[in-house]
Each structure stands twice: as structure tokens, then as C-alpha cells.
Structure 1
Amino acid sequence: MDWDKLRIFHAVADAGSLTHAGDTLHLSQSAVSRQIRALEETLGTTLFHRHARGLILTEQGELLFEATSAMARKLDGASARIRDSEENVLGELKVTTTVGFGTLWLAPRLVKLYEKYPDLKIDLMLEERVLDLPMREADVAIRMKEPSQSDLIRRRLLNIRMRLYATQEYLDHAGTPGSLDDLSTHRLICQKTDQPQVAAGARLVQEIMSRNITSMLTVNNYFGVLQGVLANVGVGVLPDYLAVDHQGLVRVLPEIESGEVPVFLAYPEELRQTRRVAAFRDFVLEEIQAYRRQKSEVVPE
């Protein structure tokens, strides 16, 4: 089968338009159309339904697009490994993690990675949705649960817990609660339980809210919760890794915490030898070790 025709077919299927595919491939619409017709004649089948709004894959077209997508992913992986030299780490690396971990732990540390590899281009995608690594929606993920796909390399980084924190200034003004029931006289800052978040954190918030909390500030990510706590708005439910970087946080009700939440680093098997992935993996592992040392020094359990 003609590889060039398959490349053109993949571009058309991905764009859903002969014109847009032609723009991407730097070919005229008529040239793209001729190649698609020739491929359909070779296969003896129709690959697209044509209509006024564009092109829709037929069942046979869907099967071929699935195959060309797998080929494209492997070619991308091979190209990345070829571009990575023995001495240099450069090019784009797509990293995904949650909004909280990405903004509060990972992003502030990336300056160290850039100091070592100044030509690296990181596309940091922060969202609670789990992106599909085998489908190359991202190259590397840091997730708050173990990945389920079998074709991923995964490494457990640490375990975190959600705990209660406030500032000393807030506690001096509002008093220090001695029990969960005492929180009814304080303002609670947290994520709503119906917001995307780790299940252990949602369960802890549900338990606290059952104590007749009268005043609340809810935010849809931990960055917002942290800002509320640091501004002396109330007592916040936050991941414990923040206590190392924000030593102004005072733990409230030390006996109250969520269950453990595992944090995993994961990437596709096919990217194992890619220098950019290896550089990011080693950087994260080094920062985790540094975090553990800091935690043992400044944060009592």
C-alpha cells in the first residue's frame, strides 16, 4: 500500500476536510482528492461519505484511520528518539497533571529543569481529566492514582493526604478549634464534593460538612483554597505537600486527615528511551527526594 496515500488519507480523516488537509500538507485540494480516490480504488471501498459540511469516515475508513493513527504515534515516537542526541535534551514535552499539583508543586520547580536543559519546550496541561497517554494526548502524566493501562511505565512518587490548615494570624483572631464540632464556628475553605478531585479529599470534606458548618468558601481547585487560607479567610482543606513550601500554614486538628492518595508518574513504553522523557523523569524523582528531606526537617508528623 502506498505510504504517501496513507499519509494524505490520515491528514484528511484528521481534518475532516480536503481543503484543510491540503493546507496542512501544502497540496492543492484537487491533488488531495485525486490521492484519496486512488486509495479508494486500490482498496476497492469507499473511505468517506461526502456532504456539505465536510467528510465523514465510513466504517472501512474508521478501520483504516485507526491503523494510520497507530502508525503516526509510532513514527512520532521514533522521530523524538532520533532528534534526542546523546548530549542535548530539546524539543517539546507534553506533561499533564492536576491543576492543584501542577500549579502548587510542579510549576514552581520547573526553573531547575530549564536551567539544566534550556532548549526544552514543556507544554504543561493542567486538568482533572485523565488524558490518554497511549493515544499521545500527553507524553508524561503525574496522576493521583495508579494508571490502569498495561502498556505504560509507572513509578510511584509519594503518598499525600488532605489535611486542615490555617494561618497563625487567623487562629489568633478566631481561636484554635479543638474538635471537629468546633469548626462550626469557623469558616471552611474547600472544594465542593461534586467538583473533580481525589475521592479521599471529597470524603474528608463531606465528614467536616456534616458538623453543621455555617460559613464556607468553596473553590474549584486547591490553588484557590490555598489563597483563601493565606489571606486569613478561614480553615482550609489542602494537600499536605503544601506545608513544605508554605511554612506559614499551621495544621489544625492534627488527628483529622484523609486516607492516603498515591501519586504516580507514568509514560508510554515506546517513550522509554526518549531523552526528554528521561530528563523529566529524573528531574521529578530528584525533586521528590528533596521534598522528602525538607518534609522530615520542617514538618512534624
Structure 2
Amino acid sequence: MKPSLDDLALLVTIADEGSFTAAARTMGLPKSTVSRRLADLELLLRTSLIRRSTRALSLTDEGRRIYDMAKPSITAADNAAQAIAERERLVAGRVSLTTTAALGQYLVAPHLAKLTGAYPDVQIELRLTERRVNIVSDGIDLAVRMGALDDSDLVARRLCLVRRVLVASHTYLERAGTPVAPSDLAAHNAIVTSAALNTWRFDGGWECAMRWTIAAGNMLVAHQLARLGHGIALLPDFMLEADLERGVLIRLLPDYPMEQADAWIVSSPQRYRSLAVQTVLNYLVGAIEPVE
């Protein structure tokens, strides 16, 4: 049987500290345990390693030989453990985060300057796309998404409730008229983000298949088209606060709330995340107001 690294570290500590009492204090062990473990090591090696006296202790020739061989490895192990501990205390590294252009601009970006100010060694790489990215196969750390989550394997934390509202410009309403009930929407031009999302749903289950001429591709373009008077858009409330206050856009059918959605931040189900990834995740969860 060979001595373990812990056994050799015990011998090195006793020799460096110069007494069993000091070695026990350094290792956080009872003095009797240190003495017993050294005796076990000497029995294992079938040789005396330390000369004991009432005043001092010293290494035997065999003890000195083993000490000289073990000391560099023990020092290297201690240095590695210290480096790992220091790395864990230092939040650093690159974090990739994917989301849509609108969520990135309105929900995520406002918090990034403060986040990186608090953690200057963190780099956040945004990947804005309207495609639902597979973050596991694409090697992405985090994703911010809105609506139902398709992949149950992902770890998800709720960010906030997103209220979707119908809006249009004065120009469009003067030209096409103002709807006063959901049934009026069928006569209007809709601005949809994609051809597949032409059905608008209200709380309570009522829905309307909308007529459209432009599928905008994302909510930012849909927002711009609404401001230009192209038609009625269904957009998240977090995009519209300034336009509604200034009257650039008018909220429609306020007595008929649209179907709401949750915004989530999701990550892969891996057991261990880097400290940087965990820090960004926790920061965004805490910073984004959980509107109810």
C-alpha cells in the first residue's frame, strides 16, 4: 500500500511547523490525531520518519528524503487549491446570451451597463435572433424568451409578466376608423411579426385571424410600421410607454385585454455553471421588475 498525498502533507506540515502542537493547529486536527496518523505512516513505510524529544523534533535521514520529494508536490497542490479559490471569488469570463431584438433592446440591454460596471471582468456576448435557438447544441449560456417554453429539459426562471396591447397611430385610425370591439379587427390591416402569427388571442379564449400586408420579421420593425401608420400592431407594453404617453400611438380596445405572456431566462440543465454565467442570470432575475 502506498502513502496518500494527505499522509505526505501531514509529514511536511509537522516538519515545517516544528512540533505536533503547531502542526495540529495548522491542520485543524487534535494533536492526538496528528501523532496517530504519523505513527500509521511510519508503520506503512516500515521506517522512522521523525526523531522525537521533549524539547524538539527533527527528521530522520529517511524522513528528510521523503520530505524533499514530497514538499514540491504538496506546495503545488496548495497553490492550485488557492488559485481555484481565488478564481471562484473573481467573477470573470465571457457569457453568451441569446434573445430577440426587441427583448434584447427593451428588457435586457437597459441592465447590462450596470451589470458590467459591477463586474468589469465579465464579457456579455448578445446574439439577437428571431429564431428559437437550441442553446445546448449551439453552446449558448443563457436565453431570454417570451411565451410558452417548448423544451422542458431547460432550467427556467421567470423574469416578468409581459402584457401585450393593440396599438395604432392617429394617421391610420383617421384613415381606417377606430375599432370598438374585437369583431371590428377583421376589417383592419394588421402588422404581424411573421405569417404564422396572424391569429391574435384575447383573454378568455376569443381569437381573431388578422388580415395583413407586411410580416415585419420582428417586433422592432412592427413597432416602426405602426408609428408610420401602416396598421394595427400587437406589441409588448414595455416597448410602448413613451409612445403612448406622447400620443404617437393609441391603445386600442383597452376593455378587451389580450392574451398575456411570461418572459423567462433559461439555461442548459448542466449541473455546474461558471460563476460568471450564474452571476449574469441572478442579476437579470433581480433587476427586471416582476410585473404582475
The TM-score range, normalised by the shorter chain, is 0.5 to 0.7
Distance 1:240 1:173, change over 3 A: same
2:164 maps to 162
- Relative to structure 1, the CA distance from residue 180 to residue 216 in structure 2 (aligned partners, 3 Å threshold; closer, same or farther) is farther
Which position in structure 2 is the counterpart of 1:282?
Answer: 282
C-alpha distance in 1 between matches for 2:260 and 2:278: 27
C-alpha separation between the residues in 2 aligned to 1:161 and 1:113? Answer: 26
- The one-letter amino acid paired with 2:103 is F
SS of equivalent to 2:235: strand
Equivalent residue number for residue 30 of structure 1:
none
Match of 1:234 among 222, 231, 234: 231
- 1:175 is displaced (CA, Å) by 4.6
- Contact 1:98–1:127 at 8 Å: present in 2 too? yes
Q: CA deviation at 1:133?
A: 3.4
Structure 2 CA distance, aligned partners of 1:245 and 1:281?
A: 28
2:200 pairs with 201, 204, 209, which one?
204
Q: Contact 2:94/2:125 (CA < 8 Å) preserved in 1?
A: yes
8 Å Cα contact 1:204-1:257 kept in structure 2: no
1:127-176: CA deviations, max 9, x gaps? 243333344620111223335343x4321223334321124565467653
Question: Structure 2 counterpart of 1:261, which letter?
Answer: A
Offset of residue 207 of structure 1: 4.6
Q: Match for 2:221: what amino acid?
A: G
Q: CA deviation at 1:225?
A: 0.4
- Aligned position for 2:103: 101
Larger Rg: 2
Counterpart residue type for residue 268 of structure 2: P
Alignment partners' CA distance in 1, 2:156 and 2:230: 39
Where does residue 91 of structure 2 map in the other structure?
Answer: 89
Unaligned runs of 5+ in 1: 1-80, 195-200, 297-301
Q: Which runs of 4+ in 1 moved over 6 A?
A: none
Residues 146/217 of structure 1: CA separation in 2 closer, same or farther (3 Å cut): closer
2:195 alignment partner, SS class: coil
The offset of 1:257, in angstroms, is: 4.5
Show the 5 A alignment for 1:1-301: 85-135=87-137, 137-144=139-146, 145-146=148-149, 148-150=151-153, 152-167=154-169, 171=173, 175-183=177-185, 186-194=188-196, 202-204=198-200, 207-209=207-209, 213=211, 216-244=213-241, 246-248=243-245, 249-270=249-270, 272-289=272-289, 292=291
When residues 88 and 271 of structure 1 are mapped into structure 2, their CA distance, relative to the original with a 3 A threshold, is farther
Secondary structure at the aligned position of 1:178 is classed as coil
Aligned-residue CA RMSD (Å): 3.5
Secondary structure of the 1:189 match is strand
Tell me the CA shift for residue 89 of structure 1: 2.7
**Sequence identity, in percent?**
27
Structure 1 residues 262 and 234 mapped into 2: Cα distance closer, same or farther (>3 Å)? same
The two structures have a TM-score, normalised by structure 1, of 0.54
> What do residues 27-49 of structure 1 show as CA deviations (whole Å, max 9, x unaligned)?
xxxxxxxxxxxxxxxxxxxxxxx
For the residue of structure 2 that corresponds to 1:204, the secondary structure is strand
Distance 1:252 1:278, change over 3 A: same
CA distance in 1 between counterparts of 2:150 and 2:88 reads: 30
Q: Which amino acid in the other structure matches residue 267 of structure 1? A: S
What letter matches 1:85 in structure 2?
A: R
